[in-house]
Structure 1
Amino acid sequence: MTDPKTVLSVEGVSVDTIPSGAKPIVRNIGFTVAEGETVCIVGESGSGKSVTSMAIMGLLPKDALRVTAGRILLDGEDILTASPARMRELRAARVAMVFQEPMTALNPVRTVGDQIDEVLRLHTKLPPAERKKRVLTMLERVHMPDVDRIYRSYPHELSGGQRQRIVIAMALILRPRLLLADEPTTALDVTTQKQILHLIKELQEQEKTAVIFVTHDFGVVSEIADRIVVMNRGDLVETGSRDAILTNPQQDYTRMLVASVPSLIPRRDPVDTGPKVLEVVGLDKRYGKKSMFSDPSVMAAQGIGFTVRKGEITGIIGESGSGKSTVARCVMRLTDPTDGAVIVNGTDIASARNLKTVRKQVQYIFQDPYRSLNPRRTIGQSLMEGLVNYGMPEAEARRKVGETLELVNLPAAVMSRYPHQFSGGQRQRLAIARAVVMEPDLLIADEAVSALDVTVQAQVLRLFEDIRDRTGIAILFITHDLRVAAQICNTVVVMQRGRIVEQGAAKDVLAHPAHAYTRALIDAAPAPDWDFQNFRPAVKVS
């Protein structure tokens, strides 16, 4: 018998492939979640976190995975023996899930109000007027502005944070006993992330909902967890209270995970000497056009000015919509600036017509390497393309690609493989190699580590620094993660609503912020006063 307050009990659960593999991909997992409790499941990509949560929801793909052992008790009922019809009754009403990417979880051709209303239509017999009243009340509870307008809006008309609130509203409108949240804050900036975490906690306290939070972000874990379950390659490595796991982890794997979380204490000195590789002067970017009677245009960037020297890593930080990526794309000339100068090695490229030379001098690393690598071309073909286009013989290009792959700690033999045959971290290394092989003077990395788990993120950050130290390349690093900026950046530019509000040495800006917005960003970062690498509260920089 389980404790009356135990909402979920996972007992010796194993999940295997169909047909069975050499060994189950999740093995003998067991833990409990009580009402009002938050249990965080943590681990690297491939650890089995999401497979475990999908098994609890009964959403494992029928033709690919199956539970081969154990029980999953939801308020004492073994959901593994439930019929498909019974599972449809339980979902949303008793157990609900918030997925990582709300844009893929929402139907783009239906209003969000209609999609929340669908949950009530399927699980209740309420009349339409009462359903709409409940939906509007729920939208107010998740702190949406102008709920009548939001009710009529389509997903693409909302921000990322608003879409995540809609998904949470859909999950909680029937007051389920258990909520599973699978990486719901990974792609959000720190202030929106803090709002979402506070919202989940607020609704949990009101309803005493049990929460399973799947994440690789130990900053988030330290803020919300009551207990932590650590997984690695399908095995349960360690479980315990939040304080026990974060201050005194017993297993080497757990210690490695926690110690991989970057500190908020800046550690790089500014680069005061050396030639200026990039100089941005008075950069403006306006979308839309002015007319005689109105100004429907939007200033995405205004009066932007900063420099990046040889061997320097300059970070641009700010919330979503602050203009970070707009500035990066203007520097690369992926979009044309409205006004101002972008000077690369002494030449203003802002209005240059022939961009062939610019493309070689400035290379771009995108956030999602899987979408930026051609899935139908081998790695060798993708990485050689730029060199061959600039006239290098194919044999020489192949040799150079092999050398560059070694630089990013991948063997030259991978040139014959395709992007889908690599992990996320390996694909990001390949994207870096494709940019570095051109020997650019400036490398632009746009949220290049935001989707990686902490250990892979630490590896990729070390790789950026290693490449900078070995080649002297200048790097413009776009990020919303202040911990990443503190570890890798020499200087920091803080943007808000298209303007720079503060800039300077990372040690000055992040340790002693002068602007209220910068202070708000730092305060919003999960666990700002925790030094994960030493398993203790951080020592403040004086």
Structure 2
Amino acid sequence: MSLLDISDLRIALNGNADFQVVKGLDLSIEPGQTMCLVGESGSGKSLTALATMGLLPSVLQPVAGSIRLKGEELLGARPSRLRDLRATSMSMIFQEPMTALNPVARVGQQIEEVLEFHSNMSQSARRARAREMMEAVHLPDVDKMYRSFPHQLSGGQRQRIMIAMALVMRPQLLIADEPTTALDVTTQAQILSLIRELREEQGSAVLFITHDMGVVSEIADEVTVLKLGEVMEAQDLDNLLRHPKTDYTRDLLRSVPSQVPRPERPPTSQDVVLETRGLCKVYGGGGWFARGREVRAADDVGFSLPKGRTLGIVGESGSGKTTVARCIMRLIDPTSGQIMVSDTDIASLSQKDLKPQRKNIQIVFQDPMRSLNPRIEIGQSIIEGPLNFGTPKSEAMARARELLELVGLPASAVDRFPHQFSGGQRQRIAIARALAMDPDVLVADEAVSALDVSVQAQVLKLLDELQDRLGLGILFITHDLGVAAQICDDVLVMQNGRVVEYGPAGQVLGSPREDYTKALITAAPGRHWDFANFRPFTEAAE
């Protein structure tokens, strides 16, 4: 008998069957099996998981169908029964652990709380079990980790705490909702390996929700593809990757960024729009931090970015990528070194002297919803910078309409609010806002990492087209080597604040010299598959 059986599941807005967001989903998972539920944002993946856990928001209600766990019907079950089943029989890992963990409680205590609620174990037994689980998810220095608060841990460590909490009661069903989306490739590989390992040890079934077909190729036994609440197809992994049945699945596969670097482009200009020399950022070592150790977040970083070229900075979390970007933007002050923007060293300029230079270098952040003001129309967001530099409002708004059309949105969108757009559209708005200043340099800090693969491909294509049209120099910060391979002319690899390898993308990603770069490439999910041609690379070589 299947561990989880979902039959003809239909979820509707306010219980109105005319507004269904999940439309007749069928799904079955055997013990010890991993089922990947794949689709873009809005496809109903997470709603299916929340319905299974009994955590749907009140505005969304199941109007038909069945969800059975070990033969027990979950739809319509009493809240008290669902609470009993959570953690003991089924458990869930959420996408963003920082929003799921209590920020004012130590993580060891949070794992213990699960045991306190669902078992009769003594306090000493709970602590021992929590420590055992932390060791099982390969957390270093368990004593220190146990006493730490969530903000003191890295993203990968927080996700491991979430996994420990989810598995501490040894549930038969583990639901993982995009657990690796924002993680760097090595941490992502470790988390996928950990889930496989724990599944084999505990015999759990896994419902793995993702939009990343590279991750699917690493972990799935069976795959169900959703689009706008409907099942497009369901196949075992090998058949889905080799013989996708629908155009939608084929498009998803073709959108996966290839690890093969794009053909080298000839230089279009010798003009250098951004250059760093000996850039350093040091934390600690004095003042309030005198007792702490010195941390060199960026150490002697040097590179140059010609006009019309894209330089990618890649590395794991904590490698110093974002520190370098923030120093270049002067969002933080560098400790030493030079930052040359259009022949001006901005590294030590005062804020007053820096203001005229800011228009030359603009940034697009990872999460546009957090960088756009939710209370003002997007037209007002786009013209804010030009207005600060003296552009008349009518002229700035006319330019905003032009820029929206340039990034593929209607000019009429100036009067709408950020929440009225999809994630990909909001990122296009953020790009339009950056371009409103007519910069020489565009810094993209993980600008596509949270987007669906198809939307990601569209934004990458847009950046490419804008660069060709406007001659922008783009500094592209990413942990995704596939994305770097598709858009970057040159790649700089960082580890622990230092430059490990730097050169043309074809050389660094195609024939890396350093062991660290090789390790990053080896850890990238989906590296064995030629998704665009529906075959492994080994067969392509033959």
Q: Tell me, yes or no, whether TM beats 0.5.
A: yes
Query: What secondary structure, in the 3-state scheme, does the structure 1 residue paired with 2:32 have?
Result: coil
Structure 1 stretches lacking a partner, 5+ long: none
Separation in 2, partners of 1:56, 1:267: 42
Residue from 297, 300, 325 that aligns with 2:297: 300
- Aligned twin of 1:69: 64
- Aligned twin of 2:385: 386
Query: What secondary structure, in the 3-state scheme, does the structure 2 residue paired with 1:188 have?
Result: coil
Separation in 1, partners of 2:212, 2:434: 28
- Aligned twin of 2:284: 288
Query: Structure 1 residues 295, 60: CA separation in 2 closer, same or farther (over 3 Å shift)?
Result: closer
Note if contact 2:15-2:61 (Cα within 8 Å) is conserved in structure 1.
no
* Aligned counterparts, 1:437-476, within 5 A: 437-476=436-475
Does structure 1 residue 352 correspond to structure 2 residue 375?
no
- Aligned twin of 1:36: 32
* Aligned counterparts, 1:294-443, within 5 A: 296-353=293-350, 354-443=353-442
Comparing 70-79 and 344-353, the one that deviates more = 344-353
Comparing 226-235 and 347-356, the one that deviates more = 347-356
Identity %: 56
Comparing 500-509 and 329-338, the one that deviates more = 329-338
Query: Structure 1 residues 492, 293: CA separation in 2 closer, same or farther (over 3 Å shift)?
Result: closer
CA RMSD of superposed structures (Å): 1.4
- What TM-score, normalized to structure 1? 0.97
Does structure 1 residue 47 correspond to structure 2 residue 43?
yes
- Aligned twin of 1:125: 120
* Aligned counterparts, 1:98-109, within 5 A: 98-109=93-104
Does structure 1 residue 198 correspond to structure 2 residue 193?
yes
Separation in 2, partners of 1:514, 1:290: 37
Query: What secondary structure, in the 3-state scheme, does the structure 2 residue paired with 1:350 have?
Result: coil
Q: Deviations over 1:444-480 (max 9, x none)?
A: 0000000001000000000000000110110000000
Q: Deviations over 1:178-215 (max 9, x none)?
A: 00000000010000011111111100000110000000
* Aligned counterparts, 1:438-517, within 5 A: 438-517=437-516
Separation in 2, partners of 1:84, 1:118: 19
Note if contact 2:38-2:211 (Cα within 8 Å) is conserved in structure 1.
yes
* Aligned counterparts, 1:67-106, within 5 A: 67-106=62-101
**Aligned AA (1:474):** G
- Aligned twin of 2:275: 279
Note if contact 1:50-1:214 (Cα within 8 Å) is conserved in structure 2.
yes
**Aligned AA (2:355):** K
Note if contact 2:17-2:63 (Cα within 8 Å) is conserved in structure 1.
no
Separation in 1, partners of 2:429, 2:411: 11
- What TM-score, normalized to structure 2? 0.97
1:294, distance to aligned residue in structure 2 (A) = 6.6
**Aligned AA (1:405):** L
1:144, distance to aligned residue in structure 2 (A) = 1.3
Query: Structure 1 residues 109, 191: CA separation in 2 closer, same or farther (over 3 Å shift)?
Result: same
Separation in 1, partners of 2:452, 2:290: 50
Note if contact 1:492-1:506 (Cα within 8 Å) is conserved in structure 2.
yes
Aligned residue-pair number: 536
**Aligned AA (1:228):** V
Q: Deviations over 1:382-420 (max 9, x none)?
A: 101111111111111111111111110001100000111
Note if contact 1:268-1:487 (Cα within 8 Å) is conserved in structure 2.
no
**Aligned AA (2:447):** A
Query: Structure 1 residues 293, 423: CA separation in 2 closer, same or farther (over 3 Å shift)?
Result: closer
Query: Structure 1 residues 154, 294: CA separation in 2 closer, same or farther (over 3 Å shift)?
Result: closer
Separation in 2, partners of 1:25, 1:498: 45
Query: What secondary structure, in the 3-state scheme, does the structure 2 residue paired with 1:448 have?
Result: coil
Note if contact 1:365-1:448 (Cα within 8 Å) is conserved in structure 2.
yes
1:332, distance to aligned residue in structure 2 (A) = 1.1
Query: What secondary structure, in the 3-state scheme, does the structure 2 residue paired with 1:11 have?
Result: strand
1:293, distance to aligned residue in structure 2 (A) = 8.2
Q: Deviations over 1:309-362 (max 9, x none)?
A: 000000000000000011111111111111111111111111122112211000
Structure 2 stretches lacking a partner, 5+ long: none
1:254, distance to aligned residue in structure 2 (A) = 0.7
**Aligned AA (2:142):** V
* Aligned counterparts, 1:118-267, within 5 A: 118-267=113-262
1:129, distance to aligned residue in structure 2 (A) = 1.3
Does structure 1 residue 26 correspond to structure 2 residue 25?
no
Separation in 2, partners of 1:126, 1:340: 57
Note if contact 2:277-2:300 (Cα within 8 Å) is conserved in structure 1.
yes
